[in-house]
Structure 1
Amino acid sequence: MLIRKLERQDVKTAAPLMAGFRVKLRSFKGEITEPDTDSGEAELNEYLDNGFPAFIAAVGDTPVGLMVCRLDEPCVWVEALYVAPEYRRQGIASLLFDKAEEIAASFGESTVYNYIHPNNEAVKAFLASRGYTVLNLLEVRKPYPGEKLTRKIRVDESEFDY
Structure 2
Amino acid sequence: MKIIPYESSLESQIVKLMADFRVTLSSFKNVKRNPNLIIAKEELCEYLSNNFPIFIAIDNQGILHGYIVCRIQDQVVWAESIYVKHNSRKQGIASKLYLEAEKIAVSLNSDTVYNWVHPNNTKIIPFLKSRGYNVLNLIELRKPHLGENLSMHISILDNVFDY
Interval containing the TM-score (normalised by the shorter chain): over 0.9
Letter in 2 for 1:95: K
User: Which region of structure 1 is more displaced relative to structure 2, 118-127 or 6-15?
Assistant: 6-15
Letter in 2 for 1:35: P
> Which residue of structure 1 lines up, in the alignment, with residue 105 of structure 2?
104
Matched, 1:153 2:154: yes
Q: Where does structure 2 lack aligned partners over 5 or more consecutive residues? A: none
Report the identity percentage.
Answer: 46
Separation of aligned partners in 2, 1:136 and 1:46: 26
Cα contact 1:67–1:80 (8 A) shared by 2: yes
TM-score by length of 1: 0.93
Separation of aligned partners in 2, 1:147 and 1:46: 27
Q: Where does structure 1 lack aligned partners over 5 or more consecutive residues? A: none
Cα contact 1:73–1:107 (8 A) shared by 2: no
C-alpha displacement at 1:117, in angstroms?
Answer: 0.8
User: Which region of structure 1 is more displaced relative to structure 2, 99-108 or 27-36?
Assistant: 27-36
Separation of aligned partners in 2, 1:75 and 1:135: 17
C-alpha displacement at 1:70, in angstroms?
Answer: 0.8
> Which residue of structure 2 lines up, in the alignment, with residue 10 of structure 1?
10
Letter in 1 for 2:16: P
C-alpha displacement at 1:142, in angstroms?
Answer: 3.9
> Which residue of structure 2 lines up, in the alignment, with residue 29 of structure 1?
29
C-alpha displacement at 1:145, in angstroms?
Answer: 5.3
> Which residue of structure 1 lines up, in the alignment, with residue 46 of structure 2?
46
Structure 1 segment 10-159 matched on structure 2, within 5 A: 10-59=10-59, 60-144=61-145, 146-159=147-160
Q: Which secondary structure state, in structure 2, belongs to the residue aligned with residue 71 of structure 1?
A: strand
Letter in 2 for 1:73: D
Separation of aligned partners in 2, 1:147 and 1:48: 32
CA deviation profile, 1:9-36 (whole Å, cap 9, x unmatched): 3222211110111111110101111112
C-alpha displacement at 1:144, in angstroms?
Answer: 4.4
Q: Which secondary structure state, in structure 2, belongs to the residue aligned with residue 121 of structure 1?
A: coil
Q: Number of aligned residue pairs: give it.
A: 162
TM-score by length of 2: 0.92
